[in-house]
Amino acid sequence: MVKVIAGPVDSDKNSRVRGFLDSLLDSKYAKDGFTNGGPVVAFRHPRDDRVNPEYMGRHKVHVTDSADEIASRIGSDTGTVVISGVSHYDSNLVPLIDALARSDRQVIVAGLNLDHHGKPYGIMEEVMALADDVELAKAICFRARGRDTCQELEVSRSVKLDEREYVAACVQHFKYPDSPPVSHNDLGRLTAYVGAVCSSKSTKWNTVRQKLVEGGIVPVVFKYFNGEDRYGQNAGELMGSGKITLHTGETIDAINISAGLHIEEYIGNYGGDSEFVFIDEAQFPDELYGSISRLVARGHKVHTNMLVRTFSRGPFMNTPSLMCLADEIKFSYSVCQQDGCGRPGTESQRVVKRAGSETIEPAHVNDPIEVIAGNRFEGVEDKDRYAYWGSCLNHLVLPGEDALPYSFDRYNSN
């Protein structure tokens, strides 16, 4: 399991890590501390605290910028690995996190979500792609200090005031630092609904939309368009009317788009009650990150529904960057149906019936990322037909996958 704690400068992400270490020490689970081996080991990048990186609160931790050194300190009895300042590490840390999770260890990492340009910070995008849970730490807008009147106490952006000072900012003052404050209700925000296939994330996303409709607010809904028909329905035309079909069979009217700019164009041309914007399969549309950034800055409340990662545990196009940008993340899990497992299904096991065959087999790791598939096989018999099953990480099967550069024996808590 990988848990990510992310937030801007001056947020409480490090205090959350300290609180977790406090509980482990006070409960005597980690009675020998976090640098002497044992069930929990903790690490910190030296840039995470340039004054006193060796301590997080009262806890001594390992200080290193090397993934190899972290790997060397993982013992057979180590069940939990804590890494603070994860956004400062290089990309070698990503396969290490993956290997630790695959060995059934708990990995808790904390880092900056965005840089001062509003882009994912360092490797944070790759780390988000491995997340099974995300806590978003918040800070107070710098314009709430002193005589300024901004009231935002839970913000998720960072801005650069000068060469040495970085501060937290609300969406309004990130984009327009010198603007007067706006009310909380007028601020834009991004809510991301993420999870594996068959995890009811679409149901949660649609429930919010339905509540708005019941309250007299009609949000504008967009769906990804690639020109292919699904569920026996005509796909329609780009920028025309389409339908989203949920696993329940319910359909939702939507506008067909293939890029973020199409959303901005539609809202600009037709306006309407577009304060609330809902986007299905948000992992796919081109240039969506920039469009959502601009929509949020203009006060829109954007709700995206998307798969957390690819079937091969890789970053799924827009998803990890939008998770870095999000003001709220709602995770959903399916149930692992392999061998009657029943554990939370964090992964999307893709299976395939090859052309002309009815034999079901796990999809090859190099199969195309974007295919038409759901919880049942779709397509015609003379072509490969795909479907997805919920799976835990232990039961995920990826034929053709390269070995990770790190490997650990499976952790046994007994």
pLDDT mean values, one per 10 residues, the chain (414 residues)? 97 95 94 90 95 93 98 95 98 98 97 97 98 96 75 90 89 88 86 94 95 94 81 71 85 95 92 85 97 94 97 96 98 92 94 86 90 65 83 96 95 78
354 part of a folded domain: yes
At residue 229, φ and ψ (nearest 5 deg) are -75, 150
Largest CA distance in the chain: 72
Instruction: State residue 153's pLDDT score.
Output: 84
> What span, in angstroms and rounded, lies between the C-alpha atoms of 310 and 76?
30
The helix (H) or strand (E) run that includes residue 107 is strand 106-112
- The reply to whether 204 and 160 lie within a common domain is no
Domain end call among 332, 350, 376: 332
Instruction: State residue 282's pLDDT score.
Output: 97
Check: CB of residue 124 under 8 Å from CB of residue 111. yes
412 part of a folded domain: no
Q: Is 305 exposed, middle or buried (0-12, 13-18, 19+ CB in 10 A)?
A: buried
Query: Residue 152: which of 321, 11, 302 has the closest Cα?
Result: 11
Instruction: State residue 177's pLDDT score.
Output: 84
Instruction: State residue 163's pLDDT score.
Output: 80
Instruction: State residue 295's pLDDT score.
Output: 95
For tokens 């650990």, name the residue: 408
- The reply to whether 321 and 195 lie within a common domain is yes
Q: List the domain range (segments joined by +) for residue 98.
A: 2-136
Instruction: State residue 66's pLDDT score.
Output: 98
Instruction: State residue 357's pLDDT score.
Output: 81
> What span, in angstroms and rounded, lies between the C-alpha atoms of 350 and 362?
6
What type of residue is 189?
R
Check: CB of residue 353 under 8 Å from CB of residue 360. yes
> What span, in angstroms and rounded, lies between the C-alpha atoms of 55 and 321?
30
344 part of a folded domain: yes
Tell me how far CA of residue 277 lies from CA of 84, 302, 328, in angstroms: 34, 5, 15
- The reply to whether 152 and 59 lie within a common domain is no
- The reply to whether 162 and 55 lie within a common domain is no
Domains in the chain, number: 4
Instruction: State residue 370's pLDDT score.
Output: 81
Tell me how far CA of residue 372 lies from CA of 82, 222, 261, 351, 377, in angstroms: 38, 18, 24, 12, 9
Q: Residue 185: helix, strand or coil by DSSP? A: helix
- The reply to whether 212 and 346 lie within a common domain is no
For tokens 């796909």, name the residue: 235
- The reply to whether 315 and 227 lie within a common domain is yes
What type of residue is 198?
C
Instruction: State residue 245's pLDDT score.
Output: 85
Query: Residue 171: which of 188, 149, 159, 192 has the closest Cα?
Result: 188
- The reply to whether 223 and 323 lie within a common domain is yes
> What span, in angstroms and rounded, lies between the C-alpha atoms of 256 and 209?
18
Query: Residue 44: which of 93, 98, 99, 101 has the closest Cα?
Result: 93
Query: Residue 6: which of 61, 66, 87, 62 has the closest Cα?
Result: 87
What type of residue is 359?
T
CATH assignment at residue 76? 3.40.50.300
107 part of a folded domain: yes
Domain end call among 126, 152, 184: 184
Tell me how far CA of residue 191 lies from CA of 64, 82, 205, 223, 277, in angstroms: 34, 27, 9, 16, 10
Supply the DSSP symbol for 88.
Answer: G
397 part of a folded domain: no
Query: Residue 78: which of 100, 111, 55 has the closest Cα?
Result: 100
Hey, which residues does 302 pair with through a beta bridge? 190, 277
- The reply to whether 180 and 285 lie within a common domain is no
